[in-house]
Chains A and B, each alone.
Chain A
């Protein structure tokens, strides 16, 4: 499960994420972080059952950090895709694989939105929204 954490202005300097990891004992993997003058935004992934995820969501809420569940939206035009596989091995998180019938399959849950597949696709069947 991935979460988008939005830190309001003035919260960026507080070590809230570190506190969450220490206090809850839940490993949070930072996938992307952007900080500017207005706010901070961090995309983290949380591994574990739903209660764990809920605990993490609750914690950030209480600290005043915005939390929303987050998925990258890859749009694959199945009419265009030729299932060649050019996007499969470049994907850094193995979100793209082959089905037993050699059709290319995308796992939205694993995707980290890097966009390497968009460039790798010879028939331009992939769009990152």
Chain B
């Protein structure tokens, strides 16, 4: 690993000092990544790599792992804030008396999805007054127990944007195979592969333009939220070997602009913050130049089915950013409309702004103190405690009926056994339908006699190995209170009802 990190970042085409000397003199060659791609096409990689000093990048997307550290200053009499809200959004208070962290995804206790930590940050940067409310238990040194006032960004001692994970190198695209509309962090996904959403700026993506992580590291000076920021390390879930690198960044909120920090809502998902990030890539060697020259057609990602509510979503196909940005992607021989969630228009604007700063000589490049890791294992969270599955909770002694059974006998069964759901099986013992006490009430009301007329044929089922939470969500979506559990051959092996769950699972979790 040591030799690897020494090999990365070779300055055999240009040294940082020389680039900065040219920036100061005003004769550095600075291009946006889009312009650099064109230059390489025109004059070849070798020539472009020699002539161009810096390539600027940009991205403007929803970055949930974002937030700001704030110091409010002390009131008279002073308070050790215990719970603290900014515009009714709870902030993290496990710090010293008047320090807090407002996270982008924290949601307002009164406005829910429509206003969150991201919006608080945008309001601060816009110069608006923000309501501050905090309580305390009171101590000898901090006697005050409650405070309610308003603050502006100018009032704060420190307001530091510090984002644990930003600027994903690329991101998986999303679609939905199910028959209902999904509301996700990838936006609105229409049923039956109705649309595709994606994120990231592809050929302008800061981290993809240095995919070998040869120039980006601790101390890299960047464009952050319209001001100056720094990379302070790898971001959480950094996975550079898979081209899913991320960065942790910080910058002074007081110098940022609301245009580049926007509070946002993903309906029925939550709140977040759109963050503008731009990184200058010094063309120190040919490998860096080759990476900076990659265009949307060279950058691929996986299209995932968000209809599968699992950590391991199936990959439907590989797709390039070019196809995604064109707005039409072929899935299962059908042309599906695609669109981004991050703004390419703003990404271009950021790359252009950063280029201007460097050309003006006001933004100098920094040599990273330490490069980001080029390899990181990404581990899932393994569950060490046994968690009940459907098979552990379901009722195995399931009472069923045959298609040919008399409706009156079926009704008698339900009453005598005290149950609400009765799976109907065919001659082969396979699930054919389900009848509930409600269906039988309907049969009585409308004078229906045959079981086939009354039963529901499109049965929502569960499998023994399925997680309880997934089945609970399924039942809520279909507004039902029980599901037959079937095996691979569609034989009924049990039944799971809300009654089973409330007795055997919920009791265990909350008592």
Residues of A within 8 A of B (CB): 82-90, 92, 94, 97-98, 101-103, 116, 119-120, 122-124
Contacts and interface: CB of A to CB of B under 8 A. Distances in A.
A88 B196 CA distance: 10
A97 B196 CA distance: 14
B190 interface: yes
B339 interface: yes
Given A84-B341, A85-B344, 13 more contacts: A89-B195, A89-B327, A90-B190, A92-B190, A94-B337, A97-B327, A98-B327, A102-B345, A102-B348, A120-B188, A122-B264, A122-B272, A123-B264
A88 B337 contact: yes
B114 A116 contact: no
B57 to A, nearest CB: 16
Contacts of B327: 88-89, 97-98
B345 A103 contact: yes
Summarize B's interface: helix, strand, loop or mixed. Answer: strand
Interface in B332-355: 337-346, 348
Contacts of B345: 82-83, 101-103
Interface residues of B, number: 33
15 contacts: A82-B345, A84-B60, A84-B343, A85-B340, A87-B339, A88-B340, A89-B195, A89-B196, A98-B327, A102-B348, A120-B187, A120-B188, A122-B272, A123-B264, A123-B265
Summarize A's interface: helix, strand, loop or mixed. Answer: loop
Interface in B58-77: 60-62
Contacts of A124: 114, 265
Contacts of B342: 84
A83 B343 contact: yes
B267 interface: yes
- Give me the 7 closest cross-chain CB pairs, A-B, nearest first: A88-B339, A122-B264, A89-B339, A89-B195, A102-B345, A85-B339, A85-B340
Nearest to A88: B339
**Which of A83, A86, A89, A120 is packed against the most chain B CB atoms within 10 Å?**
A89
A82 B188 contact: no
Contacts of B340: 84-86, 88
A85 B343 contact: yes
Given A86-B187, A86-B197, A122 B341 contact: yes
A61 B18 CA distance: 79
